Structure 1
């Protein structure tokens, strides 16, 4: 019968099986991890506060610039803004009309077939304009009429001179007093029972017919301390009427200049 051999007890010196061996951790790996953590950038409290202050400062600068830009018009009242807009619109419309007229005239003058007719039309328009301004041609257009009743014949020539000057300053283009056409060379002088106008006696009542902007001329005459106020102080009565159509029928031939002559054209 075979004899059994007792099992050898395991000792502390026994080596573990190679099938269960584990790879040891690389030496020094914990040091590299710590170093990378220290080198990673971190935002400090002071850096965050500085960035916030810079953002607030930028916002304040932009707001101030916008406020400065808008202060010019923002401080005006609505009525003032509307007035500025209306005035700008009117000026723009006037300029557009003037540009269109000048372009039309230029096109006509530059046209080979119509150049002679265009030049004739331009000369005709210029002659008509000069004829109205010098009193040689009758005229029609919007304006005012002024009726002056002077029973005491207290209105003097100086009152009429002031009225004529105020009408001219207000843009009057054609003026007639009773049956006399008034022009740049017209004058007033004392007369028996009336006034002498350009050498002819004119008696009251006086009726003015004036072509121009009705509202502008009426406002100019009715100014405090103006021509009509001085006339009314004499006891005379004055009634101003705004008209859509005023006819200036009186004409006069302009006197030939005694001393002035056209300046010769400059030759290059």
Structure 2
């Protein structure tokens, strides 16, 4: 009887031991279980993350790298285009400045040419020379020499008797009465010469030995010369330019 009960007691003991081991795991079992739990958690989170990712979620890493390279290259290309446009803008602005400077220089030279040609009025510092000739001995040659002396002294614009603008092709002569004429216009005494240029230099040119003053005030003419330096000499007479009949610009 006792021998029959002994196997049953051993089986019950083994069952109780298994139950105790299941509810009270060892350290090794605990570590294995924790690892399995974490693995399962990571898998679940990964699946959820992929489910909420945009269109790139299923793209391979190599494809993503290639896509990033393409975006980087496109960005660099656009940046280069921006730099090129900036350079073009700078060149256009610089070109506009050069064009503006060229136009201003052309306008300045045109104005100078008009002044030299005598087609526009002029104003500037200079001198006024008044020649009194009571004996009427002043000749066309003498006045021509006086004008040449003033030009040699730097006169830029010259006018006679507030009426005749002297230019490069001006000429002096005498009419049938013997009166002095300039460009066909009869001149009356006193002769007034207005000249624009450096006042001191122009006066020195008129007064040098053997020049205008010496000739007029010498015994041959017996006249009198007065010279006044002015800050502003206003010359209003102009020359009418005839339209060329045959010549045309090239």
Aligned length: 155
Cα 1:197/1:110, change in 2 over 3 Å: farther
SS of the equivalent of 1:113 reads: helix
TM-score by length of 1: 0.53
Q: 2:169 aligns with which of 182, 185, 188?
A: 185
Match of residue 80 from structure 2: none
Cα 1:172/1:261, change in 2 over 3 Å: farther
Q: 1:156 aligns with which of 126, 139, 158?
A: 139
Give the root-mean-square deviation of aligned CA atoms. Answer: 2.2
Instruction: Tell me if 1:232 matches 2:217.
Output: yes
Whole-angstrom distance in 2 between the partners of 1:130 and 1:172: 15
In the TM superposition, residue 199 of structure 1 has moved relative to its aligned partner by 1.1
Whole-angstrom distance in 2 between the partners of 1:201 and 1:139: 23
Match of residue 82 from structure 2: none
Residue segments in structure 2 that go unaligned for 5+ positions in a row: 1-91
Match of residue 157 from structure 2: 174
Whole-angstrom distance in 1 between the partners of 2:147 and 2:244: 23
In the TM superposition, residue 113 of structure 1 has moved relative to its aligned partner by 2.9
In the TM superposition, residue 253 of structure 1 has moved relative to its aligned partner by 2.4
In the TM superposition, residue 183 of structure 1 has moved relative to its aligned partner by 0.6
Q: More helix by proportion, 1 or 2?
A: 2
Residue segments in structure 1 that go unaligned for 5+ positions in a row: 1-108
In the TM superposition, residue 154 of structure 1 has moved relative to its aligned partner by 1.0
Equivalent residue runs for 1:2-41 within 5 Å: none
Q: 1:215 aligns with which of 200, 214, 217?
A: 200
SS of the equivalent of 2:145 reads: helix
1:189 and 1:196 in contact (8 A); partners too: yes
Greater mean deviation of Cα atoms: 158-167 or 121-130: 121-130
Instruction: Tell me if 1:139 matches 2:128.
Output: no
Match of residue 21 from structure 1: none
Cα 1:157/1:236, change in 2 over 3 Å: same
In the TM superposition, residue 144 of structure 1 has moved relative to its aligned partner by 0.4
Q: 2:180 aligns with which of 170, 192, 195?
A: 195
Cα 1:124/1:156, change in 2 over 3 Å: same
Cα 1:252/1:225, change in 2 over 3 Å: same
Match of residue 114 from structure 1: 97
TM-score by length of 2: 0.57
